[in-house]
Structure 1
Amino acid sequence: MHSLKLTLLALCLVAGLADAASQVRVVGLFPGAAVISVDGQRKLVKVGQTGPGGVVVVSADSRGAVLRVDGVERNYSLSREYSDGFVEAEKKQLSIAKGAGGHYWIAGSVNGQSVQFLVDTGATSIALNDGHARRLGIDYRVVGRPLQVSTASGTVRGWQVSLDRVKVGELEVLGVEAVVLEGSSPTDALLGMSFLSRVGWRVEQDVLVLESKY
């Protein structure tokens, strides 16, 4: 009887591990990083780092990722399902009225730190000056890639970085490209297409509407 109980316990533990593994999903892919969801908890995890539930990202590119779950490595493709029977939530939407100077301003956050954005559909990525970056705790000289950026005032030195989380209203995007420029330009933090292209956006009667894609 004692042996039977141990066998049943072992079977239950194995079943529990299998069930836990079934809740691991890859919901975003980037070169060298993946957005993984474990029991609904999402996080951008770089290769070699450990995410929710102790899941390790072994490798990742635009085609898929290799994750180590409970010591076992498996290939994962991109999935928008969180678990069996998941019902897609209603799309989140945010409306922004035109403000001073005919511009759209919106309060948001970068990596959990608050920031006031000026929406700029002409900017290819989020753009910050070095003062914004320091306030947001972005060590761009260490984690960034140096580059030269052409502006209206001439060519300036910049650094390309990846922001873990950018959020405006209820819309949150993980792994967003940004550029940090040396000096005081741009005066305002620009919310460019590296964020806007990851959500739906349109202008209706001078109101900018942002909407989650899924």
Structure 2
Amino acid sequence: MTRCFQLRRCLMVLLLFFTQAVSAMDIQVRMLARGSALLEIDGKQRMLRDGNTSPEGVLLVSSDGKKAVIEVDGKRQALTLTKRIATNFTTAEKTVVRIASTHGGHYVTPGRINGMPVEFMIDTGATMIAMNYVVAESLGIDYRAGRPIMVNTANGVAQAFEVILNSVAIGDLEQRQIRAAVSSTEFPQVILLGNSYLGKVDMQVDNGILLLQSRH
């Protein structure tokens, strides 16, 4: 009787250990916005909206721009950005988006162009938003109707078209009628968020965290 009890106890301990080992994941918050978050799960970045589940089984329950509530194996936990954020910079009346830098030191964040989901790389050296023609076509942008211009790319000078985007948003920070350049080549390979948008918001870097804040 005692031996049977000990055997069952050992099996329960092994099962508990196995369950904990399976559910153990390295999860960090890279970006927070209301209704969405960029999570890094075991080294892979996953952009999730409220109610979405990552391929690793991480459910984003909610995100309010300050913390993300996630659920893994039925257990919920509130996560904030991994680095400290100053609390005396913002006011309650203004919309703020916080973006953590990637391993390469870049700031990458999900956003929207004309209401469609995209991924931006912050580029304070770019005059305006820049994208290639393939991305523009996927977003339904009639770039050939824009003003022909010349732009510098990694392969030299190339023809591009200046267009006006109806709306550009990161989280709740939405701006309208934003200038963008669409390259006739496949460069840039990512959408660069330039100063035609960034010039309309306030920016501050605090301990590696980029804070974008509305002006009104």
Query: Residue 22 of structure 2 corresponds to which residue in structure 1?
Result: none
Letter of the structure 2 residue corresponding to residue 125 of structure 1:
M
The reply to whether residue 133 of structure 1 matches residue 136 of structure 2 is yes
2:112 counterpart (109, 112, 116): 109
Name stretches of at least 5 consecutive residues in structure 2 with no aligned partner. Answer: 1-91
1:1-214 equivalences in 2 (<5 Å):
90-142=93-145, 144-214=146-216
Query: Residue 75 of structure 2 corresponds to which residue in structure 1?
Result: none
In the superposition, the TM-score normalised over structure 2's length comes to 0.56
C-alpha contact 2:165 2:179 (8 A) present in aligned 1: yes
Query: Residue 18 of structure 2 corresponds to which residue in structure 1?
Result: none
In the superposition, the TM-score normalised over structure 1's length comes to 0.57
Offset, 1:151: 2.6
Offset, 1:152: 3.4
Count of residue pairs brought into register by the alignment: 125
Letter of the structure 2 residue corresponding to residue 200 of structure 1:
D
Identical pairs, percent: 44
Name stretches of at least 5 consecutive residues in structure 1 with no aligned partner. Answer: 1-88
Query: Residue 24 of structure 1 corresponds to which residue in structure 2?
Result: none
Q: What CA RMSD, in Å, does the superposition of the two structures yield over aligned residues?
A: 1.1
Indicate the SS of the match to 1:213: coil
Letter of the structure 2 residue corresponding to residue 131 of structure 1:
V
Query: Residue 52 of structure 1 corresponds to which residue in structure 2?
Result: none
Letter of the structure 1 residue corresponding to residue 123 of structure 2:
D
Letter of the structure 1 residue corresponding to residue 102 of structure 2:
G
Query: Residue 49 of structure 2 corresponds to which residue in structure 1?
Result: none
Query: Whole-Å Cα distance in 1 between the matches of residues 182 and 114 of structure 2?
Result: 15
Offset, 1:202: 1.3
Query: Whole-Å Cα distance in 1 between the matches of residues 192 and 152 of structure 2?
Result: 15
